[in-house]
Amino acid sequence: MKKKFTEIIVYGRGGQGAWTASVLLARAALKTGKYAQSFPEFGPERSGAPVRAYVRISNEPITLRASITHADYVIVIDQTLLNKAIAVSREDGTIVTTFKESTEELKKILDGFKGTVWYVNAFQIALDIIGRPITNTAMLGAFVKATEEKFVTLDALIEATKEVLSVKLPEDILNKNIEAIKRAYDEVKKL
């Protein structure tokens, strides 16, 4: 039976906004006219512990309510978790990662991975624009570009970001997150 939805895992560390990223992505998918679900997986984790958040996107209602073991796409918001992302990606899956070292270093880490990889230095983008190394929104911009807006448009992501984060962040920080989304969208590259 053919799967009717796309599965995405967002990998980060506690406090980096992996769950928030999954919520923004699902909300943007809804704005694009799709069905979506988002949920985190963590226990009583401390700040800095690995966290996974899940997103499913479909053109039809989604009835499955289970964690994702092997994703079509993995968004890595903390490059130290890249090996974990490789382990949960489908063999032909796509990884969209932040990476601040050379492409040669990235290739070494990915040795044997047969899927597609997109990368951007979201760490530097976040430092430059937001002033803190919080890469979750930038990585969503990179994901939208890497998927050629197949699931979510850039405009829908920006609109969802405004809706969700405007209640959590001051306007200037919200605007900086939107700027980070746009810059990562422009700078992400396929390996």
Instruction: Note the pLDDT of residue 14.
Output: 84
Instruction: Note the pLDDT of residue 140.
Output: 97
Instruction: Note the pLDDT of residue 111.
Output: 87
Torsion over CA: 145, 150, 156, 160 (sign):
negative
- Mean pLDDT of successive 10-residue segments in the chain (191 residues)? 84 89 96 94 70 94 90 95 90 94 91 93 96 94 96 96 88 93 97 91
Instruction: Note the pLDDT of residue 2.
Output: 61
Torsion over CA: 45, 184, 96, 124 (sign):
negative
Torsion over CA: 133, 137, 139, 145 (sign):
negative
SS3 call for 92: strand
Nearest CA to 147 among 171, 116, 106?
116
Q: What is the dihedral of CA 84, 178, 189, 145, to 10 degrees?
A: 90
